[in-house]
Structure 1
Amino acid sequence: MHGYPNLPFESELLPKLIIQIPCYNEAETLAIALSDLPRTVTGFDSVEWLVIDDGSSDETVRVAEENGVDHIVRHTSNRGLAYAFMTGIETCLARGADVIVNTDADNQYHAGDLPALTRPVLEGRADMVIGARPISEIEHFSLVKKLLQKIGSWVVRVSSGTDVQDAPSGFRAISRNAAQRLIVFNNYTYTLETIIQAGRKNMRVVSVPIRVNGDLRPSRLVKSIPSYLKRSIFTIVRIFVIYQPARFFGMVAAILFGLGFLIGLRFIYFYLTGTGGGHIQSVILAGVLMSMGFQSLLVAFLADVIAANRKLLEDIRYTQRATQGEVGNYAPARNNKNAG
């Protein structure tokens, strides 16, 4: 197959690559990012560009059109980065992409590393590839941000069972099969959830080192360190609850029941030593905590049943997308080659 005998694709033709860029008021930087994107990538028969305009109020769409973007899909209002990412995934699938690359409109990631990013997917070694930035060498990252990036990536590695080195990185390549399985529930960002989801679905996730360009604008997601930290923690906990509910609520049940049991033992000790009369509050607290623990255990069982049903629905959704042409659930993309 044209020098790539191990390509995981059924067609004898080289696969199609679509590079998607979620945008929200990116008129000032989008042209710079597009000027660096390649029109040919080794291993691909065609390379197309897709811009997802997430309700921009500036000239983002005009800039995209003037710079030859193949497909533009627009949200009538700002829906958030995660929703824009999924709009892109749905549109890429509908346009016949075999591999999807996601990148940012601020030209943060070095486009010259795109072949290295897609190679593991082409060779069948990965379902998702995450570009790992040299965090410690990025000058405009504060020491606190660098530390949080490393801690966050470690938490995601533990939660997902993967070896991802730079979890917040938005520069990633995704196979068609993996893209069909992705569902993002979070409105804030897709980066952490997609990795944890991929790991829990036994997808092969690998990291490759990439370079970064100079800083063109401040991050839209990291408005402040406390806000970013709070949102990231909430995202990780929420994903953990969604994908491992029995374990999460089981841990809560064990903690509550254990505390109640220990407090109960404390009262029994005082009672047996003849001083239990002044510790009736311990009996009440122990009863409340143990009751809450038992209720949490019941919730764990119910949540596990719901999670099983969710997995069945996801499998049905995947089968439908794979057999019915994967028509997206979002606004239709406009093909600029035919615009007129």
Structure 2
Amino acid sequence: METQAITDPRILIVVPCFNEEAAIATVVREINQVKLQFNLRLDILVVNDCSTDSSMAVIRGLNCLYLDLPVNLGIGGAMQAGYKYAYRNGYDIAVQMDGDGQHPANELIKILRPMVEGRGDVIIGSRFLEKAGFQSTALRRIGINYFRRLNFMLIRRAIYDSTSGFRAFNRRTLKIVNTYYPDEYPEPESIVQFGLYNLRIVEVPVTMRERQGGVSSINTGRAVYYMLKVTLGILFVYIRLFNKRVNLTN
């Protein structure tokens, strides 16, 4: 399905935040600098996922919109809250940028360009197409390659950085995730969801940094558990949606 180019789009940057007091102010400031540099119609929505540090106090002092969730929903729930806000408030594009500073704002245009030109429904910023910048740990790369093969087996699409949280959705995709979005490890699980809905998934090369604050929820001791749990999540999404595929259009 072809999608027309988007003229002068309304863009919402959704920034999930859980205990990111050390990085969140810099993340918002850098996005605002890119907004001014490229004269974008862009808003920033920080979704505070019930942080236990001083993140919310920092967020209140920033030049951005915010949601302060009363309970911790995890990354999937926090992102769906942001996507629901984007869909219900008429934004043309929603972009996820993590609150830990891994996603440099000056790479944002690489994510937006193919979306604005109508070349994809889901645009994913990939660390591995040009292999520049921070490449993640060797153990994580093993897991990412495993998920690439699993997703290809299920939907016949090779996504090289399926765990990337640097991604953009258009209105067609927002309509889908407004209804359902995987809750705990949404990045690799949602690839199957998008494939079953026949969305056009486009990867673009981006440079990422090491996290600038906060602590990853996935450490070496939890890596095997993570891979098993995400595998079950991917299979659950596949089974749940395989017989319910519909052609959603605006």
- State the TM-score, normalizing by the size of structure 2: 0.85
Bigger Rg over Cα: 1
Which amino acid letter does the alignment assign opposite residue 39 of structure 1? K
Aligned residue pairs total 244
CA contact 1:19–1:103 (8 Å) conserved in 2: yes
Q: Cα distance 1:234–1:104, how it changes in 2: closer, same or farther (>3 A)?
A: same
Q: 1:58 — aligned with what?
A: 53
Q: 1:177 to 1:86 in 2, by over 3 A?
A: same
1:17 and 2:11 are equivalent in the alignment: yes
Identity %: 22
Point out the structure with the larger helix share.
Answer: 1
| 2:124 equivalent among 118, 127, 130 | 130
Shift of 1:185: 5.5
Partners of 1:122 and 1:141 in 2: CA distance: 29
d(CA) in 2 for partners of 1:229 and 1:184? 27
Contact 2:101 2:213 in 1 (8 A): no
TM-align CA RMSD: 2.7
Q: Corresponding residue for 1:216? A: 212
User: Hey, what does 1:198 align to over in structure 2?
Assistant: 194
User: Do the aligned partners of 2:22 and 2:212 also contact (CA within 8 Å) in 1?
Assistant: no
Alpha-carbon spacing, 1:234–1:60, altered in 2? closer, same or farther (3 Å): same
Shift of 1:156: 2.5
Contact 2:11 2:91 in 1 (8 A): yes
Higher relative contact order (CA 8 A, sep 6+): 2
* Alpha-carbon distance in 1 for matches of 2:27, 2:202: 25
* 2:52 matches 1:39: no
Q: 1:76 aligns with which of 70, 80, 86?
A: 70
Q: Deviations over 1:305-330 (max 9, x none)?
A: x964x547xx7xx68xx6xxxxxxxx
Q: Secondary structure at the match of 1:213?
A: coil
State the TM-score, normalized to the length of structure 1: 0.64
Q: Structure 1: any 5+ residue segments left out of the alignment?
A: 1-5, 246-305, 323-340
Q: How big is the shift at 1:165?
A: 1.3
Where do 5+ consecutive residues of structure 2 fail to align? none
Distance in 1 separating the partners of 2:84 and 2:119: 23
Query: Does the 8 Å contact 2:182/2:189 carry over to 1?
Result: yes
Checking the alignment, whether the CA contact within 8 Å between 1:110 and 1:210 is kept in structure 2 is no
Q: In structure 2, how many angstroms separate the alpha carbons of the residues matched to 1:216 and 1:202?
A: 35
| In 1: Cα distance, 2:174 partner to 2:39 partner | 19
